[in-house]
Amino acid sequence: MRHTSSSVLVDCWAPSRTAAYDSAWIIGFSLFTALAAQLEIRLPYTPVPITLQTLAVILAGAMLGSRRGFLSQALYLAEGAAGLPVFAGGASTIVHLMGPTGGYLWSYPLAAAFIGWMVERGASRRTLTLAASLVASDLLILACGIVWVHQFLGTTFRQALILAFYPFIVGDVIKVAVVGLSLPRLLNRASNGISPGL
C-alpha cells in the first residue's frame, strides 16, 4: 500500500518502503548530482562555475526527505573523494573538495537534509512554507560558498560576493521556482494515486 498521506514524494510512489528502494533513490540522486555538475558554464572572473548542482541538491532533499537526501549528497561527495569524475568539469579527489568550490560542496548534505526535514513536516503541502524552505536551503549553500571563497582566496567580503554570490542569483531563483512549482503538483498527483509517468 502506498503512503499517499506522506509529504515525502518518493514514499507516495512506493508500494512499500524497503532498504533496496531507499538505496536506489540515494544512489540515483548521487548520480543525478554528478550529471548536473557536468552541465557547467565557466565565467572568466570567478573560479566557481555555474552548474545545475544546486537544483539536484534541493530536489534530493525535497523528494527524498532529510535522511535519504543527506545520504545522497554525502555519497556524491564520497564518490568524488574516491576519485570518480563527478565534480564540475569531471574533477575528482579530496583535493577538489578543499579547493575554491569546497564550501558549496560540503554544504550539499546539510542543505538537502534541511529541505528534507521541512518537507517531512508538511512544507511541501504549504506553498509559502515550501518557498521559504527552498530559499533558505539555497541560501545555506550560497552562504557556505561565500565564506569559503572569502577565506580560501583571502578576498574582502564584497569581493567574495562578486565571485561567489551575484553570478548565481538568477539561476538559483529559477531552480528554486522549478522545484517549488513542480513538487506540490507531483505530490498532489501521487496522493490521488496517479503514477509519475501519467
Report residue 114 as a C-alpha cell.
534541511
Q: What is the pLDDT of residues 7-35, one digit of tens each?
A: 899 998 887 789 999 999 999 999 999 99
Domain that holds residue 85: 9-191
Residue 105 belongs to a domain: yes
Q: What is the CATH number of the domain that holds 145?
A: 1.10.1760.20
d(CA 128, CA 87): 33
Residue 169 belongs to a domain: yes
d(CA 133, CA 124): 9
What is the H or E stretch that residue 147 is in? helix 127-153
Query: In Å, how far from its chain's centre is CA 16?
Result: 25
Residue-averaged pLDDT of the chain: 92
| Nearest by Cα to 119 from 64, 165, 161 | 64
C-beta of residue 55 within 8 angstroms of C-beta of residue 73:
no
pLDDT surpassing 70 at residue 153: yes
3-state helix, strand, coil in the chain (%, to 5): 70, 0, 25
pLDDT surpassing 60 at residue 197: no
Q: Tell me how many degrees the CA angle 19-124-177 measures, rounded to the nearest 5.
A: 110
d(CA 18, CA 140): 31
**Number of domains the chain is built from:** 1
| pLDDT confidence of residue 198 | 40
Residue 1 belongs to a domain: no
Phi, psi values for residue 150, rounded to 5° = -55, -45
Report residue 187 as a C-alpha cell.
505530490
Residue 3 belongs to a domain: no
Residue 88 belongs to a domain: yes
